[in-house]
């Protein structure tokens, strides 16, 4: 069955929300060949992610996706067959009323945040009636097993990764495009993408006195925090040497280039949701800086993922990785260095584990296709 889609996105913090929505919209348009209308409230933020976007246009076609500026008052449009509100962003009332007037009524899905917590399995795909309108709202949870909605993964992603990681010339050509030297086995590459973290200065100091590494620092908060530690300007493209530590300030990368960064590195520090998922598809060792929440609610989510990610591994390696992730997420400048040393000594073990974990995840149907299958099933039901 051919479908049509409306996707609603509000840009709340950084680029995670729009990053996920754009990946989904692009995949639907290119892999299923279906019309997608992406409603975004902040075009300026979206333009940073996709430079070809024109912020002066309320309607435009961007790489096969119809991008609409989500404004008030909301324009009169006929809803598509499937309506996705990303992360409970609440479509406008005028659009909900238009959904009521549409027959058959669109399939309305709330695409929720990613979590490894067990409770999402019992709530995934459940429906909830709107309190005043004859509409049903379905909850859809991305996740890490077959009882959830899976993860975003383009059909060609893992094959492209394998070519990139095994073709040394292609990898070095890409690194050169960022003014980076060819990969040196004696100098591991580490990517840094994190929120503000009090543990970072201690790690930076440790790396200056340890074995040689090259730290590729993402634009935004990571670059500014490194700049404070350096006590000097650290602008895009700058390369500095501090003892054994080489520091490179990266420009803002497109989504495809960020994937290649993860593929090229020997270890990846990632944050939030989008980069966290992409790091898992990179099949490289990683450390996740989860988005901080009040009363340490994020720690429950961190532990839920660790329980799945480290299941069946020896206690020593479980404790090693878990200890560093916890110290990193507690912003603990003392224990982070100690636990990093233990983790780094085991990096070959975790490289193997990362590949195994990725292969296990890849056995699931991806999120985009699960959304389509769910919508087709609902639209095929009589009445």
Residue 176, φ and ψ in degrees, nearest 5: -65, -35
Nearest Cα residue to 45 out of 6, 73, 74, 17:
17
Lookup result for tokens 């598809």: 281
Integer Cα distance of 56 and 47 in angstroms: 11
| Residue 12, Ramachandran bin (φ over 0: left; ψ between -120 and 50: alpha; else beta) | alpha
Which of 17, 34, 85, 259 is an active site residue? 17
Task: Give the residue carrying structure tokens 């709340």.
Answer: 12
151 within 8 A of 364, measured Cβ to Cβ = yes
Residue 181 a catalytic site member: no
Burial class (CB in 10 A: 0-12, 13-18, 19+), 209: exposed
From 34, 273, 274, 366, active-site residue: 273
Long-range contacts of 70-78 (CB under 8 A, 24+ apart): 70/8, 70/9, 70/10, 70/39, 70/40, 70/41, 71/41, 77/37, 78/102
- Among this protein's residues, is 184 annotated catalytic? no
Active centre residues (catalytic)? 17, 273
């Amino acid at each position: 069955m051919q479908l049509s889609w409306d996707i609603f996105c509000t840009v709340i913090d950084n680029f995670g929300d729009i990053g996920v929505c754009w990946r989904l919209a692009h995949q639907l348009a290119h892999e299923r060949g279906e019309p997608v209308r992406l409603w975004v409230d902040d075009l300026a933020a979206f333009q940073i992610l996709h430079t070809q976007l024109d912020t002066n246009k309320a309607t435009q076609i961007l790489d096969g996706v119809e991008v609409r500026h989500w404004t008030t008052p909301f324009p009169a449009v006929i809803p598509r067959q499937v309506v996705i509100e990303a992360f409970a962003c609440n479509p406008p009332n005028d659009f909900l009323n238009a959904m009521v007037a549409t027959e058959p009524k669109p399939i309305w899905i709330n695409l929720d945040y990613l979590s490894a917590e067990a409770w999402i399995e019992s709530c995934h795909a459940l429906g909830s009636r709107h309190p005043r309108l004859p509409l049903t709202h379905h909850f859809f949870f991305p996740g890490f097993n077959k009882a959830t909605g899976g993860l975003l993964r383009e059909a060609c992603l893992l094959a492209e990764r394998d070519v990139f990681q095994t073709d040394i010339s292609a990898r070095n050509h890409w690194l050169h495009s960022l003014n980076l030297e060819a990969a040196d086995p004696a100098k591991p590459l580490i990517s840094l993408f994190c929120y503000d973290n009090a543990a970072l200065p201690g790690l930076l100091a440790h790396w200056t006195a340890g074995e040689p590494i090259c730290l590729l620092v993402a634009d935004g908060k990571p670059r500014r925090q490194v700049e404070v530690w350096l006590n000097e300007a650290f602008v895009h493209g700058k390369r500095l040497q501090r003892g054994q530590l080489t520091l490179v300030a990266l420009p803002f990368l497109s989504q495809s280039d960020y994937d290649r960064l993860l593929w090229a590195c020997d270890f990846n520090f990632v944050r939030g949701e989008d980069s966290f998922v992409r790091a898992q598809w990179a099949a490289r060792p990683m450390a996740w800086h989860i988005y901080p929440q009040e009363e340490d609610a994020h720690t429950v989510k961190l532990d839920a993922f660790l329980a799945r990610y480290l299941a069946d591994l020896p206690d020593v390696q479980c404790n090693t990785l878990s200890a560093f992730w916890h110290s990193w997420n507690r912003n603990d400048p003392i224990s982070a260095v100690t636990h990093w040393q233990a983790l780094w000594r085991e990096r070959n073990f975790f490289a193997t584990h990362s590949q195994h974990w990725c292969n296990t995840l890849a056995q699931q149907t991806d999120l985009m296709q699960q959304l389509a299958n769910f919508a087709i099933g609902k639209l095929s039901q009589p009445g």
